[in-house]
Chain A
Amino acid sequence: MNPLGLYEPGTSPLHRAPAGAKFLGLLVLAVLVFALPGPVALGALAAVVLAAYPVARIPLRRSRQLARVLVPLLVVLFAVQWWLLGPGLAEVVVLRLLAALAAANLFTLTTRVEDLISAVERGLRPLRRFGVRPERIGLLVGLTMQAVAALSTIAADTREAQRARNAERSVSAFAIPFLVRTLRHADELGEALAARGVGDD
Chain B
Amino acid sequence: MDGECGGASGLIEFDGIAHSYGDHPVLDGIDLRLAEQRVAFVGANGSGKSTLARMVNGLVAPTRGRVLVDGLDPASDGRAVRRRVGFVFTNPDSQIVMPTAGEDVAFSLRRRGIPKAERERRAAEVLARHGLAGYAEHPAHQLSGGQKQLLALCSMLVLEPQVLVCDEPTTLLDLRNKRRFVELLHELPQQVLLVTHDLHLLSGFDRVVVLDGGRVVADDAPEPALAHYRELVG
Contact yes or no, A192 B89, CB < 8 A = yes
B89 neighbours in A (Cβ, 8 Å): 188, 191-192, 195
With A and B bound together, what is the CA distance between A200 and B58 in angstroms? 11
Contact yes or no, A196 B159, CB < 8 A = yes
Number of A-B contacts (CB under 8 A): 87
With A and B bound together, what is the CA distance between A171 and B141 in angstroms? 27
A112 neighbours in B (Cβ, 8 Å): 100, 103
Contact yes or no, B141 A1, CB < 8 A = yes
B7 neighbours in A (Cβ, 8 Å): none
With A and B bound together, what is the CA distance between A7 and B137 in angstroms? 8
Contact yes or no, A150 B141, CB < 8 A = yes
Is residue A80 contacting chain B, with contact meaning CB distance below 8 A?
no
Is residue B145 contacting chain A, with contact meaning CB distance below 8 A?
no
Question: Looking at the complex, which of A36-44, A71-79, A87-95, A141-149 is the stretch in contact with chain B?
Answer: A141-149
Question: Looking at the complex, which of B19-27, B104-112, B170-178, B183-191 is the stretch in contact with chain A?
Answer: B104-112
Contact with B along A1-28 (1 / 0, CB 8 A): 1000111010000000000000000000
Is residue B79 contacting chain A, with contact meaning CB distance below 8 A?
yes
A135 neighbours in B (Cβ, 8 Å): 110
A189/B94 contact (C-beta < 8 A), A114-B107, A149-B99 known: yes
With A and B bound together, what is the CA distance between A112 and B99 in angstroms? 8
Question: Looking at the complex, which of B80-88, B193-201, B223-231 is the stretch in contact with chain A?
Answer: B80-88
Contact yes or no, B103 A113, CB < 8 A = yes
**Nearest residue, chain A, Cβ from B89:** A192
With A and B bound together, what is the CA distance between A62 and B103 in angstroms? 21
Is residue A153 contacting chain B, with contact meaning CB distance below 8 A?
yes
Is residue B217 contacting chain A, with contact meaning CB distance below 8 A?
no
Is residue A198 contacting chain B, with contact meaning CB distance below 8 A?
yes
Contact yes or no, B111 A198, CB < 8 A = yes
A149/B141 contact (C-beta < 8 A), A185-B94, A197-B82 known: yes
Contact yes or no, A195 B57, CB < 8 A = yes
With A and B bound together, what is the CA distance between A185 and B90 in angstroms? 12
Contact yes or no, A200 B111, CB < 8 A = yes
Contact yes or no, A113 B98, CB < 8 A = yes
Is residue A194 contacting chain B, with contact meaning CB distance below 8 A?
yes
Contact yes or no, A6 B111, CB < 8 A = no
Of A118, A143, A185, A201, which is within 8 A of B111 by CB? A201
A189 neighbours in B (Cβ, 8 Å): 94-95, 97
Is residue B78 contacting chain A, with contact meaning CB distance below 8 A?
yes
Contact with B along A94-131 (1 / 0, CB 8 A): 00000000000000000011100110000000000000
Contact yes or no, A150 B86, CB < 8 A = no
